[in-house]
């Protein structure tokens, strides 16, 4: 079976490694150049070069992409973390169609950043879905899903470590279906669908008027390797990497630092409840010749923008 792969990120490399052991990779399509490619995550482009495969960088709606796939004559298109929609004319070039791996339990969390959004919404059960691609956004028939649990103490970095081998496992399962010619198809229940937009680093700004639980979920959703949830204290930007809900009640102003501890933790009043900050960084560390300390922040309010 001949496959053209379109993808990005570490998850793309994981899926592509598995595909190469079970099928003939006749072409690879990666994203246009990105400063994070090969730095924050593994590079599909670099991996394809190392393997000696024919590889191009392209967006989805590009005549040269359609020519590339047409010349490769694949039986199947395989998509993993490719952010561009593919036109129907391109999808029709592969007789067996096109499969996408989407990191949510479709039809929930269609669209961009599904892992981040699911954690932000407080979901405990996450997953990966293999589905056929049609002319919608993550709307095609489901082939297979794998589920996993994420505890409230785990964040998106933990979720990625859990899901990397799931990408490989699900790829093997689906390719075996194609090899046998018996491929399950289950239409999605569109009435249960939710769709979410892309996220940007500025979306990590903390609103201390929200509940401690909601802020905790935001911190978990954008933790490393993502840019992190952040707040302000004067001219300092405080990025919070890890926290926990300390209490459900308080009588203080949201954003007020209620206590600090010798182990460099501090508690903040929220719109409802108290959040204990366990791990954070402050930038810039040195301002006007002195270093900020937690003692300077005690009983002060954080969350006001830098002027």
| Topology of the domain comprising 2-196 | Rossmann fold (3.40.50)
Burial class of 74 by CB neighbour count within 10 A (0 to 12, 13 to 18, 19+): buried
For the stretch 86-118, pLDDT in tens is 999 999 999 999 999 999 999 999 999 999 999
| CA distance linking residue 109 with residue 145, whole number of Å | 14
What's the pLDDT band for 285 if we cut at 50, 70, 90? low
CATH 3.40.605.10 fits 201-297, yes or no: no
Mean pLDDT of the chain: 92
User: What's the pLDDT score for residue 304?
Assistant: 62
Burial class of 232 by CB neighbour count within 10 A (0 to 12, 13 to 18, 19+): middle
pTM as predicted: 0.91
Structure tokens at 214: 């909601």
For the stretch 43-92, pLDDT in tens is 999 999 999 999 999 998 888 999 999 999 999 999 999 999 999 999 99
Q: What are phi and psi of 161, to 5 degrees?
A: -65, -35
For the stretch 16-47, pLDDT in tens is 999 999 999 999 999 998 877 767 789 999 99
| Averaged pLDDT for residues 163-185 | 97
Q: 206 or 284, which is more confident?
A: 206
User: What's the pLDDT score for residue 289?
Assistant: 41
User: What's the pLDDT score for residue 244?
Assistant: 96
User: What's the pLDDT score for residue 295?
Assistant: 66
Residue 300 has pLDDT above 80, yes or no: no
User: What's the pLDDT score for residue 173?
Assistant: 98
Asked if omega into 67 is within 30° of 0 (cis), the reply is no
CATH 3.40.50.170 residue ranges of the chain are 2-196
User: What's the pLDDT score for residue 292?
Assistant: 57
Residue 287 has pLDDT above 50, yes or no: no
User: What's the pLDDT score for residue 307?
Assistant: 42
| CA distance linking residue 154 with residue 119, whole number of Å | 10
For the stretch 138-161, pLDDT in tens is 999 999 999 999 999 999 999 999
Residue 243 has pLDDT above 70, yes or no: yes
| Averaged pLDDT for residues 207-236 | 94
Contact 238, 230 (CB under 8 A): yes
> Which region among 123-132, 159-168, 258-267 has the lowest average model confidence (pLDDT)?
258-267
DSSP state of 306: P
| Averaged pLDDT for residues 237-251 | 89
Q: Please identify which residue in the block is written with the tokens 């040195």.
A: 286
CATH 3.10.25.10 residue ranges of the chain are 201-297
């Amino acid at each position: 079976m001949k496959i053209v792969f379109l993808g990005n990120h570490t998850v793309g490399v994981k899926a592509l490694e598995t595909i190469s052991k079970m099928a003939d990779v006749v072409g690879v399509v990666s994203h246009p150049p990105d400063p994070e490619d090969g730095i924050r995550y593994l590079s599909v482009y670099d991996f394809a070069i190392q393997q000696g495969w024919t590889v191009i960088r392209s967006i989805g709606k590009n005549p040269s992409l359609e020519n590339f796939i047409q010349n490769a004559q694949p039986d199947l298109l395989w998509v993993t973390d490719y952010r561009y929609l593919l036109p129907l004319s391109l999808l029709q070039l592969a007789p067996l169609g096109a499969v996408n791996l989407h990191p949510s339990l479709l039809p929930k969390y269609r669209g961009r950043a599904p892992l981040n959004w699911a954690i932000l919404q407080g979901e405990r059960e996450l997953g990966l879905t293999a589905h056929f691609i049609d002319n919608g956004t993550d709307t095609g028939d489901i082939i297979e899903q794998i589920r996993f649990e994420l505890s409230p103490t785990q964040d998106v970095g933990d979720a990625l470590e859990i899901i990397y081998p799931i990408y490989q496992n699900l790829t093997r399962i689906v390719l075996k279906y194609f090899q046998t010619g018996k491929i399950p198809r289950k239409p999605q229940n569109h009435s249960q669908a939710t769709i979410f937009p892309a996220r940007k680093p500025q979306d990590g700004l903390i609103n201390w008027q929200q509940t401690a639980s909601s802020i905790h979920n935001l911190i978990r959703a954008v933790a490393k390797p993502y840019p992190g949830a952040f707040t302000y204290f004067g001219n300092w930007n405080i990025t919070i990497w890890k926290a926990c809900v300390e209490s459900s009640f308080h009588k203080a102003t949201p954003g007020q630092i209620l206590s600090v501890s010798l182990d460099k933790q501090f508690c903040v009043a929220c719109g409802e409840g108290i959040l204990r900050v366990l791990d954070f960084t402050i930038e810039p560390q040195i301002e006007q010749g002195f270093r900020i300390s937690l003692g300077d922040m005690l009983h002060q309010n954080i969350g006001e923008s830098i002027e």
